[in-house]
Amino acid sequence: MPMRDLTRSTPLRFAFVFAFAIFLLTGLVFAAIYQTATRAWVAELTHVFADEAVKAAAADDERLRRSLDLRLTRDFRRLNFVALFDARGALVFGNLDSRLKIPADGRVRYFADFRPSPAAPAAPTILVARRRADGSVIVLGRSLEEAVILRRVLFRVLAYGIVPLAAGALLLGFVAARRAAARLRAVDRSIGVIVNGDLHARLPGSTGFRELDELVGSVNRMLDEIERLLAQMAAVGDNIAHDLRAPVANVRAMLEGALKLAPKDESLRAPVLAALRQLDRAMKTIAALQRISAIEAEHRLSSFREVDLAALCLEMHEFFTPLAQAKGVSLSVIAPAPLTRRGDPDLLREALANLIDNALKFTPRGGAVILEAREIGGRAVMSVSDNGRGVPMAEKHDIFRRFVRLRSAGDTLGSGLGLSIVEAIARLHGWRLELEDNAPGARFVLGENPDCANPKI
């Protein structure tokens, strides 16, 4: 499968969705852990700092200085900034340059970008200020840089852990997509063989996917039943055609004998001749039905060999030219280069003969029929086009049905089975028969099926 198609496959899309879900959910978990841990830590610090501010406000100056000096030099986990300002706002002790503009009410406040001095880097910080009995103000602060560091660590862990996990999920999805695509291609090839008319073929029963295997099993059972029913229908049709052939032939022989012995009475000869014409038509219909049955039985695959389709068209042009001249119709051929494909030459001649005979039959005197063989986009195509009556668009799909004769056919003789024979030959070769509007007239195209080649050929 091409990479472009593989990237659009459902398993790989599921892998992308799964990897994105892993990345998103894991990121949310890490964010929740970070937020929960940070909030709990800040809440604890807030409570401690509020209590520290109360104790510091009640202590005398000497004791307060010793306590704060000890806290700054030895207790790095709890206190980063301390300052004691007198009633006039002058710094008495501490590591803050100037008095902060925060209320001295003993409430802990959060500052996202606090700088203890103009040259110091900004960092998230909590600060508390409380006024003492002599009017001085004690300020305590704690940097939350550890929370920033924790966030960086979590992001690093997330990148080191989740990115390889997501990449692994995508890789597994890619492998699964390729395996699924290969199995589905095998199923699709089998379907193509069945569509081309080989009802003996079956879908591969082991795809590796339990649900798909169950579906394949159901389809194969359905195909078994269809094949059985079609075989019964074909047997009935063959038996009817076979049983009718002998009595129709006997009746025809008796009428011919009676016609020879009958007096030259036109009142008797006319209906007998009309009956003989109807019997001949019935015999042709029976022969056509048996011919279709023989072609669909696919007993002629051993006769397949390399056939030059261009030479075949030239041969059929030479054969039908006298008939076309007698009808006053121009018959031409376009076969610029050899076009070799495997097939049964006799069956292909029969298919072309039916198409040319139809075209000559429905093309008026002075009209033209063109027989063509060429390669279009790597596809071998033979076509027969005319500028006759054409086929109404409303009846385009009915023309290939057996015994169907178009209203526009008028009194033109025919069994309605010629195109059915051509279509059966096309299916046997893995080809298809198409009808196009020639404006005016019709164009019948007999060529290779671009969607599914017949593996039997």
Alpha carbons 188 and 176: distance in angstroms, whole number: 18
Alpha carbons 108 and 126: distance in angstroms, whole number: 7
What would the two tokens of residue 69 be? 């000096």
- Reading the chain (457 residues) residue by residue, the pLDDT tens digits are 455 555 566 666 776 777 777 778 877 887 787 778 777 877 877 777 777 777 777 777 777 777 777 666 665 556 778 888 888 888 888 888 777 788 888 888 888 888 877 777 888 888 888 888 888 888 888 888 877 787 788 777 777 777 777 777 777 777 777 777 777 778 888 887 777 666 677 888 776 667 777 888 888 888 888 877 766 665 655 556 655 666 766 666 776 776 676 656 566 666 767 776 666 666 666 555 555 566 555 545 566 789 999 999 999 899 889 889 988 999 999 988 898 998 888 888 888 888 998 888 888 889 999 999 998 888 899 999 998 877 776 666 666 665 455 555 544 544 556 787 788 788 878 888 888 888 888 899 988 876 544 434 4
Alpha carbons 243 and 192: distance in angstroms, whole number: 36
Alpha carbons 125 and 140: distance in angstroms, whole number: 10
Residue 110 sits at φ, ψ, to 5 deg, of -105, 135
Torsion of CA 134, 139, 140, 145, to 10 degrees: 180
Find the radius of gyration of the CA atoms of the chain: 47
Token pair 């590796």 in the structure block, residue: 208
Residue 190 has a pLDDT of 83
Q: Is 109 exposed, middle or buried (0-12, 13-18, 19+ CB in 10 A)?
A: middle
Contacts of 398 (CB under 8 A, 6+ apart): 404, 406
Residue 454 has a pLDDT of 44
Query: Strands 442-448, 379-386: parallel, antiparallel or unpaired by DSSP?
Result: antiparallel
Q: Of 238, 296, 285, 290, which Cα lies nearest the Cα of 426? A: 296
Q: Give the amino acid at 163.
A: V
Alpha carbons 24 and 21: distance in angstroms, whole number: 5
127 contacts 140 by C-beta, under 8 angstroms: yes
Residue 453 has a pLDDT of 45
Residue 187 has a pLDDT of 82
Domain 45-146 has CATH 3.40.50: no
Domain extent listing, the chain: 45-146, 210-296, 302-448
pTM for the full predicted model: 0.45
Please report the DSSP string for 47-58 in residue order: HHHHHHHHHHHH
Residue 362 has a pLDDT of 86
What topology is assigned to 210-296 in CATH?
A: Helix Hairpins (1.10.287)
Please report the DSSP string for 107-171 in residue order: --EEEEEE-SSTTSPPEEEEEEEEE-TTS-EEEEEEE-HHHHHHHHHHHHHHHHHHHHHHHHHHH
Buried b (16+ CB within 10 A) or exposed e, 251-276: ebeebeeeeeeeeeeeeeeeeeeeee
Q: Residue 255 is inside which H or E element, if any?
A: helix 210-261
Residue 440 has a pLDDT of 84
Residue 111 has a pLDDT of 86
Q: Residue 331 is inside which H or E element, if any?
A: strand 330-334
- DSSP-based three-state secondary structure for 332: strand
Q: Of 441, 328, 445, which Cα lies nearest the Cα of 376? A: 445
Q: Of 84, 141, 86, which Cα lies nearest the Cα of 116? A: 141
54 contacts 98 by C-beta, under 8 angstroms: no
Alpha carbons 320 and 381: distance in angstroms, whole number: 20
Please report the DSSP string for 359-379 in residue order: HHHTS-TT-EEEEEEEEETTE
Token pair 């070769």 in the structure block, residue: 429
CATH code for residues 302-448 = 3.30.565.10
Residue 114 sits at φ, ψ, to 5 deg, of -90, 135
